[in-house]
Structure 1
Amino acid sequence: MTQPPAAIQVDIVSDVVCPWCIVGYRQLEQALTRVGLGAYIRWHPFELNPTMPTEGQNLREHLAEKYGTTPEQSRAARDRLTALGAELGFTFNYADDMRMVNTFAAHQLLDWAVEQNLQHPLKLALFTAFFTDGRDVSDHDVLVDTAASVGLDGDAARGVLETGSHADATRAHQRAWTDRGISAVPAVILGGKYLLSGAQGVDTYAQALSRVAQEAATV
């Protein structure tokens, strides 16, 4: 009798200011528990707003400008996400003055954190910093503080941001995924083989994970 793999590779293309990315991850997390699998999770960069200026933009204004979202639609979406987040153990604290920001610096720090084996906790901490604590994740001080909170060296993190040592690698990494057809996030790739776009829900993730595990067990 073949045994299922103890863990599978999970690649997640996402942005730290994408609410559906943390929702999708929390759904995936529950699905992994349900199926009884571990996962090697690697986060990959995607910028929802690569041309966002340094000062950012009011989130409601941004959504209205980019998607034509009305105030009523924006409020309904926030309420839905807040309720869904609560079900999944994540807190969305939306506020009228919340701003969309540029995330390229955050992605550079995440690229560096791979080398320190702390990318995953940093990614989750950045989601919390932005959506729960209302912090500006484009600000270098905020990024350094968040990095230090998960055990990364704060001075080294600041050096990464100030020198841009990982800028070129991050840009290349982004292009690699867009060249493969990724145009929206979250994009979850299971076992290097199956792509699921968007927050699919616990049941869908569990079914896909079971399939990947069964295939791996018969190889």
Structure 2
Amino acid sequence: MRTAHLHYGMVMAGDDGAWELSCRQKKLRVGTEGESVFEVNHDFMKFWVQVYAIPVDYMSKETAIYIGNMLGVVAEVENQKVDGVLRRSFLRIRVGINITKALPTRFWLAREKSSNLWVYFQYERLPKCYCYNCGIIRHEKKSCKNPTTMAVWDPTKPRYSAGLGVSQVRSITSMGAGSSRQRRWKEQVVEETSRGQQSMGKRSEKRQDTEESMIRNE
């Protein structure tokens, strides 16, 4: 199994206002034994986080859990594969995140045999009260006393910009993987494949070898 070293790059951005939420402070209360972090600490909020630019070799549940633990407390990991086939171009993790701290939006992925790259996050239903100055959810830019933080990758640009917040996507399990429509689609694919194989069987050996070579090159 290939390994990668994941390094935090505290690179943050703003949101597109995908979801309204009051910016009023909530008090932290002390819980009793047996309560989860989500039941006890009102400074934690659960988000579905989309993780982009992950190489295909690392698109796995194990990678998602590893990244989720960097962000906060992992609540759920979506299985992006159906019948061994990837259904998304990104990982999707539900994580309990401490919203009193700035939201990370990227981390540095150092690979052993390939060039290093940035992997970045997008948060589903991110509240509008996300501060473009300090990256914290609980207040807006107009009430923030901190100076504008500049980007790590370009000190001439603000670190926070629109695009961190996105609309919620449908779960893979609700996409109708076992629906009658999908079954009909699979049957059609099998039928077309069978017809294609029969047609190819009637061609000359030379013509068949040429076409197979073209397919491999594509």
Q: What is the TM-score with the length of structure 2 in the denominator? A: 0.22
Q: Which has the higher contact order (CA 8 A, sep 6+)?
A: 1
Q: Which is helix-richer, 1 or 2?
A: 1
Q: Which has the higher strand share?
A: 2
Q: Which one has the largest radius of gyration?
A: 2
